[in-house]
Amino acid sequence: MCESQTALAVVKKQKDTGTWGGNLLGLASSVAQGIKDTGTIPNYRRLLQLEWPRTGRPFKLADRVLFRLLSRDEDPSLLFELQRLVKSDVEAMAWARENIREAASAALAEAGYAEDPRLRGAGHKIASSISQFLRSPTAEKPFVKSGKVMALHPEAHPPSWYSVAMIAAMPNLRRERAGFTERLGHYLAQPAPKKAFVIQVGKRSIKPQHLLLGDPIEADARGYPKDPPLALHYIELLARMGALEWAPVATKVLARLLKDCDELGVWRPKNLRSQPKALNRITYHYYPLHLDAQTTEGREVDITFRLALIAKLLGWPLDHA
């Protein structure tokens, strides 16, 4: 896919500094956060999905930045879009750096650096923090009342989309921490709380987009997901971790999507007039990879590809003739 217009469009937006959009985590433009375009880590991960050559210049430039983020370098410029938050509230520093390191670790793990000592060190630290949370009473009662809203307990350190993606891409870490991986899998299989909540970052209350307090998939009674790209992304992560069998909603959704596949394994639902929409920007890097949705076949490509990949991860035979 490296010659596709989709991949080239991502590459052209990269700066000589190795960054995209002048920020790290931005999933869309945000006036409030001073973000004008999608950030470095989502675009890096998108290039990985589009299979741009790992030895290419875009990755070489970006890798330097991402490894600096793991190094605990105190350079304030490495906070990127979070500089303003930290400048006005020093107490937010630890949260900002931790959030950035988790995201950088996910990107580097997916890029094939799972055995790099720098990433392994960061990975074990992240896993230890989550493990401590899963073993604590806070995992069962993660919320506290904060004025008129529910807030995440200040001592809670639940998994995030980033930390789960990192763990899913580090098989040796999972083997070394098999007990933790199983506990995490069971936690991620339970339904996520439906109530809205905020996290306290220094003196500010922020609505989190990246935390996972259980299975986030919403589906109707038949098992069809409200947000197919998010559902497939989550199912793929669970499949990589060997945890899909414990997740009733995720398995029901997968079965429903597979029901729409024809004898050749092509996802072909009736009356597909448009490409399924991603409702959550967390899947920016993941979907869609095939942007041409002018034809019915074009609209089917991404979901078909993801279902085939999940089937392969689960060890199912793919011998459609």
Reported residue count of the chain is: 321
Of 173, 206, 239, the domain-final residue: 206
pLDDT at 3: 59
Angle at 140 between CA 253 and CA 173, to 5 degrees: 70
Considering the domain boundaries, does residue 183 fall inside one? yes
Residues 195 and 293 in one domain: no
Residues 91 and 37 in one domain: yes
Considering the domain boundaries, does residue 200 fall inside one? yes
Instruction: Name the pLDDT band for 321 (thresholds 50, 70, 90).
Output: low
Considering the domain boundaries, does residue 319 fall inside one? no
pLDDT digits (tens, 9 = 90+) for 47-74: 999 999 999 999 999 999 999 999 988 8
> Average pLDDT, stretch 155-162?
98
Considering the domain boundaries, does residue 223 fall inside one? no
pLDDT at 1: 46
Number of domains in the chain: 2
Of 146, 174, 206, the domain-final residue: 206
Q: Which residue has the higher pLDDT, 88 or 13?
A: 13
Considering the domain boundaries, does residue 215 fall inside one? no
Considering the domain boundaries, does residue 135 fall inside one? yes
> Average pLDDT, stretch 14-32?
90
Residues 87 and 183 in one domain: yes
Of 206, 239, 261, the domain-final residue: 206
Angle between helices 228-241 and 248-259 (to 10 degrees): 120
pLDDT digits (tens, 9 = 90+) for 166-215: 999 999 999 999 999 999 999 999 999 999 999 999 888 999 999 999 99
Q: Measured between alpha carbons, how far is 188 from 237 in angstroms, rounded to an integer? A: 10
Residue range(s) defining the domain that contains residue 263: 228-313
Residues 144 and 107 in one domain: yes
Phi, psi for 169 (deg, rounded to 5)? -100, 5
Q: What predicted TM-score, i.e. pTM, was given to this entire model? A: 0.95
pLDDT digits (tens, 9 = 90+) for 95-136: 999 999 999 999 999 999 999 999 999 999 999 999 999 999
